[in-house]
Structure 1
Amino acid sequence: MEIKNAVITSAKFDTERGLSAWLMLDYGGSGQGFGGYLLYAPSGWKAHAEPGSFCGHFVWRCLEIAGVDDWSKLTGRTIRVRADSGKVHAIGHIVQDKWFDPSDEFSAIAKATGGAA
């Protein structure tokens, strides 16, 4: 796993497989997406989000790490990432030692609410 700097080139929500959010990242010559976690699935969909506030948590933590207060302000912000060739595992504040690892944090939420991540 490698830690490197990235510029957020876009921030989007999609509903391809339920509600998910993405940050598209530029490493300066290559790029990668961060996100894709199922944050919400309407009733009747095959996939269902587990109990806990994953959606709000994901959005809040992305904003917090990038140091902005509005989703539309994410584009152009520089962050750090902890990634390998297949996945961005965590994003970090560019100068402070603050990290967001969705797998770890969603597991903690699920444990606290009795659900599964």
Structure 2
Amino acid sequence: MNVGITEITLLTNDVARTVAFWAAVFGVEPEDLGVDQWGRERWRITPANGPAVLVAPAPAYHFITRVDMHVTVDTGAADRLRAIGAEVSLPGWPLSAVDANGTDSDVHMTVQDPPDP
């Protein structure tokens, strides 16, 4: 039996910023899930492999997600993040980024080499 995390929910101070951040991390289009029963918008970012990221607004600042994460990304992730204005480590340093003003999360990234043709 395979078990594992299939989805993680991030509560954010800035839904649009966090959705753009995670869409850039994984290089995918976000999915608008509409609003929940309390009228809060929800979005899902689904990478090719691994758990999906669900983004929703925090009901109050102290509910904002505060967690460090380690993710595997493709070679274009850093450039996509820089293009949306995210804080990304300098070339030559271990790759990491911050979801500034969205969540209080540091994201440490391992670049996966593209598969051989």
Q: TM-score, normalised by structure 1?
A: 0.30
Question: By percentage of residues, which structure has more helix?
Answer: 1
